[in-house]
Amino acid sequence: MAVYEYKALNAKGKTIQGVIDATTHFEARSKLRLDGIFAYDLDIAELEEVSPQKRLLSIGFGARISKNEVCILTRQLATLLKAGLPLDQSLTVLIEQVESESLKKIVIQIREKVKEGNALSDALGEHHKVFPELYCHMVKAGEASGALDLVLERLASFLEQSIQQQRRIRAALAYPILMSIIGVAVIVFLMIFVIPTITTIFSEMSQNLPWPTHALISTSRFLRRFWFPISTLILSIYIILRKYINTESGKNIKDKLLLQIPMFGGLQKKIAISRFAQTMGTLIGGGLPILDALKISRHIVGNEIMAKAIDRVASSVQEGEEIASPLKREGIFPPIVVHMVSVGEKSGQLEEMLQKIEDAYNAEVQASIAALTSLLEPLIILVMGVLVGFIVISILWPIFEINQLIG
């Protein structure tokens, strides 16, 4: 079966568009006619996943499938399965519910794969950029245990918590970042466009100017003359660094430095531990073996140093050790995490202990972000105040000297 995009006229003569699955063009047109729809443009839909370049260009135009859309889809599918609908019928209902055309095409293809006898996890795995490895493994575990609806509910809750955490972090950091951007833009505007006009009078005077005024005029001239090479150099350095960071050695250096930065490093570690505990708890609760849960969790922490530590823990577990001992040996996981994992293993309540770790570190992340932003905001204001104050003093100083000479 293929998926076709169509533009057509309905019974009222109104132009509509959408997608439909069919084996041939003829079958697609026949299906549409049965619904009173007459297609004048019918083509096979592009079901390829969006490349990074296209995804970058598509931001803001609805082509990108967001994590929130996947979360809603998961919650709806869990509800339909819990109500007793077969999987293929549930997917059919979802196709009518989904608003995003990109996601609708993918769901249609998944439904056709399921109708052909494929497992849902295998069909989802063909769209790994929309449904990541963690998602597919959870669904596979749900299929094996016969509790797919419960696993999908757990997955939806996991995605919702992840989205909420990201939103809280972005909201907390948005104001300091915006302040920094506006502050830098104002300073650059003053130096390039305003200062030259004001200081022209001072440059034409035969009087010796104070050193702050000299420094201000020299800096302004330098920026006006070399703004293009400076901008090009900064952009080039940014592109080179981005490419290097995408390499294995670049990721290691970047993530190691991030963990060592005062305040930021602690926050990074807390976020990584929170993600690790959340993912492990979700996977173990979904029925996955501990070793598989560890191998998947390493991709979620967002830090290569932490991920390699989890890899070594997984290797130790594969050799027959419990999780707590290799976690302790790594030295990167706090003692309280190691202790709670150990208690969870011995009591058979590892999932509950991981949930408690996640809750505790989520609270610590929020507290750390609040402390960081409360420090950043006055610091940014102080830096901007010093720079603006220097500009004001550099302009007013020679004016006061002129007034004294005239007086």
Both 193 and 149 in one domain: the answer is no
pLDDT for 50: 41
264-285 and 350-406 helices, crossing angle to 10°: 160
Both 229 and 177 in one domain: the answer is yes
**147-199 confidence digits (pLDDT tens):** 888 889 888 888 888 888 788 888 877 888 888 888 888 888 888 887 887 77
Question: Which pair of structure tokens corresponds to residue 62?
Answer: 């609805």
Determine the Cα–Cα distance for residues 23 and 402; give it in Å rounded to an integer: 88
Both 285 and 371 in one domain: the answer is yes
Both 214 and 93 in one domain: the answer is no
pLDDT band at 279 (very low <50, low <70, confident <90, very high): confident
pLDDT band at 46 (very low <50, low <70, confident <90, very high): low
Total count of domains within the chain: 3
CA distances from 207 to 203, 210, 293, 399 (A): 9, 10, 75, 11
Domain boundary among 109, 137, 161: 161
pLDDT for 207: 64
Domain that holds residue 145: 64-161
Distance in Å from the first CA to the final CA of the chain: 93
Both 190 and 174 in one domain: the answer is yes
CA 272 from centroid of its chain's CA atoms = 14
53 located within any domain = no
pLDDT for 336: 92
56 located within any domain = no
Both 13 and 134 in one domain: the answer is no
Residues in the chain: 407
Domain boundary among 141, 161, 181: 161
203 located within any domain = yes
pLDDT band at 53 (very low <50, low <70, confident <90, very high): very low
Domain boundary among 144, 161, 178: 161
Both 249 and 147 in one domain: the answer is no
Both 214 and 348 in one domain: the answer is yes
Both 100 and 228 in one domain: the answer is no
Instruction: Say if residue 356's pLDDT is above 90.
Output: yes
Both 303 and 388 in one domain: the answer is yes
Q: What is the CATH number of the domain that holds 91?
A: 1.20.81.30
Both 404 and 372 in one domain: the answer is yes
Instruction: Say if residue 58's pLDDT is above 50.
Output: no
Both 216 and 156 in one domain: the answer is no
Q: What is the mean pLDDT of residues 389-401?
A: 82
Instruction: Say if residue 313's pLDDT is above 90.
Output: yes
255 located within any domain = yes
52 located within any domain = no
